[in-house]
A and B are shown apart, each in its own frame.
Chain A
Amino acid sequence: MDIINLYNFYSGYVKIKIKGKHLERFLNLITTNLNLYIWDISRISEEEATLKISLKGFKKIRKHAYKTKTKVEIVEKNGLYKYLQNMKKRKIIVFAGVLFTVFIVFITSLVLDIEVKGNILVEKEEILEKLNDIGLKKGVFRSKIDNREIEVKLMNEIEEISWVGISEEGTRLVIEIKERRIPPKIIPMDVPCKIIAGKDAIIKSITAANGNAVVELNQTVKKGDLLISGIIETKNDGVRTVHSMASVKGRTWYENFSESPLFVYEKQYTGNISKAVSFYFNGKLLNHKDVPYYNYDEKSEKYVIGPLTVIKREFTEYNLIKKGISDAEAEKNAKKELENLLYKSVLKGDVVKISYERIECEKSDYIKLRMLAECEEEIAQQAEITQADLDYATEEWRKKYEQQKAYDAM
C-alpha cells in the first residue's frame, strides 16, 4: 500500500469532492469502466463525499460524472509536481541547494587529513614530506590515489620502513607504518687499515684488538699521528696488513673564549595586533599585505583546500627594551655557552676538569671568559694504509732481515 502511495505521490493526485444523488453508482462506473484506483473515500453528508484519485484518472471521470449528474470539485492538489511548481518560484533556493550538494560532494572527494600511525624512529614530518614529494598531500582527489604505488614508493624513499598500509576512513587517509630494525654497520674486516690520532692528546690507555701499537702510555701525540700500525712484520715472509681495531684513550685539552653582554633585550608587547589572510592558488600568491611593524612575532595557520591554500597570519608588535643584568648573571650565561660548546666537541669521552678565568674585554658592557677543560676521550680513528706506508715498512723489514741473515752467517 505504501508503494502505491509513493507511486501516486510521484505521478500526482487530487483530492476531490463529489456531490450527487447516486454516488455509489458513480463510483461503480469509474472503477469498473475506467479501471481506476481510488482511495480514502469518506462521506461528508447525504449527498457529498471526498475521495482521492490520481491526476490521470481525474481527467477521465468527467464523462461519467456528467452521466450520473455528479458535481466534481477539486479540494486539494497534491504530489511531487506541486513541489516542483513551488520550486520554480524559488529558483535561488534550488540553485543554492544544488550548489551546496556539489560542494559537499567535491569536499568529500578530497583527502582532508593524513594520519600517520606506527612510526617510532621516523619522524611524522619526514614521512609527510616524502608523501608530498610523491604527490600525496592534503587536498588531492581521493580517486587519484594509487595505494599500491604510494606504498612501494614510500618504502623505497625511507629505508627504515618495512611495510606501509594505506586505508581510507572517510576523507581521512590513515597511513600505517611498520619500521624495520636497521642492522648494525659491519666493519669490513678484510679491508686493512691503521689507526691514527683524531686529536692532540696524551695517551692514557691503549687496548689493541687487532694491529700493532706503535705508541706508549703517557706519550704525547698530535692529530694524525700513527697509533696502531696495520702492518705486521713476519720473520721470513715480508710484511702483511691487517684490519686494525683498537680503543685508544687520551687526555685532551680545550680552550675557549666567550663574550657575554651585561644586558639583555626584552620584548615588550605594545598590544598592537595585525591580521592578514593570504590566498595561494597553485602556489601563486593572489593578494599581499605588508606587515606594518618593525619588530613582531608571527603566528600562522595553513589550510589547504584542493589547489587553494589559505594562510592566516597574526602579527604581534613588540618593542625591544635594553635591560641591565648583574655581573654574576652575565658570567653564568657565558659559562653556559662555553659548556655547550665543549660538550659539542667532546662526544666520546668524559670531561675531567673545567676551569674558568676572567679576562679583560675590549668592549664595554661585556665580560669575557676563558675556559680550560681537561677531558679524557677516545681518539682512535681508522685510516687507510697508503702504498708509501707499505713501501716504507717493507724496506725496513728487508734491512732487518738482511741484518739478521748476516748475523746468522757469522
Chain B
Amino acid sequence: MSKSRLKSFMTDSLELPKEIVTDLSRVSIFSNNEIYIENYKGLIEFETDRAKINTKGKIISLNGKGFEIKNITEDEITLKGEIYKITFE
C-alpha cells in the first residue's frame, strides 16, 4: 500500500479530519463574498479582479471584482470581494 493510499484509508476508517492527516487544503466559501483557504502553499497572483492561489497539486484561480486580502498567515488566507468564477487547474 502506497503512502497516499494509507493516508486515505486511515482518514476514511478512523474518521479523522482530512485536512489534518493529509496536507490537502480546505476551501470554504461564504456566498460569493469571501473565500477562506486553509493549508495553501503560496500566493501566485493577486490583482483587484483576479487571484491565483497555489495549493498542493492544484492552483485555485479566482475571477471577480474588488478583491482584497482580509488576512494572510503562513497557512491561511482569507480573500474578500465579489467572486464570479472559481477554477481548479
Q: Any chain B CB within 8 A of the CB of A28? A: yes
B68 touches A40 (CB 8 A): yes
Size category of the binding interface on chain A: 10 to 19
Q: How many pairs of residues, A versus B, come closer than 8 Å at their CB atoms?
A: 49
1/0 contact trace for A184-206 toward B, CB 8 Å? 00000000000000000000000
Q: How many angstroms from the CA of A115 to the CA of B74 in the assembled complex? A: 64
- Nearest-Cβ distance from residue A35 to partner chain B, whole angstroms: 5
Interface centre among B44, B48, B70, B71 (most CB of A within 10 A): B71
The A contact surface, by secondary structure, is: mixed
* A43 engages B72 (CB within 8 Å): no
A31–B72 touching, CB < 8 Å:
yes
Which residues of the other chain, B, contact A100 by a CB distance below 8 angstroms?
Answer: none
Q: Are B70 and A43 in contact, with the CB atoms below 8 A?
A: no
* Most-contacted residue by chain A among B47, B72, B73 (CB, 10 A): B72
Interface membership of B69, Cβ < 8 A: yes
> Cβ of A36: which chain B residues have Cβ within 8 Å of it?
73
What mask results when residues 23 to 38 of chain A are scored 1 for a CB within 8 Å of chain B, else 0? Answer: 1100110011001111
- We find that the number of chain B residues with CB closer than 8 angstroms to chain A is 15
Residues of chain A in range 16-55 having any CB-CB distance to chain B below 8 Å: 23-24, 27-28, 31-32, 35-43, 49, 51
Give the residues in chain B near A43, CB-CB below 8 Å. 46-48, 67-68
> How far does the alpha carbon of A43 sit from the alpha carbon of B72 in the complex, in Å?
15
Given contacts A35-B73, A36-B73, A43-B48, contact A27 B43 (CB under 8 A): yes
Q: 10 additional contacts, CB 8 Å, given A24-B42, A28-B43?
A: A23-B46, A24-B43, A32-B42, A32-B74, A35-B74, A37-B73, A39-B70, A41-B46, A42-B69, A51-B69
4 shortest A-B CB distances, which residue pairs? A41-B69, A39-B71, A28-B42, A42-B68
Residues on A lying within 8 angstroms of B by beta carbon are: 1, 23-24, 27-28, 31-32, 35-43, 49, 51
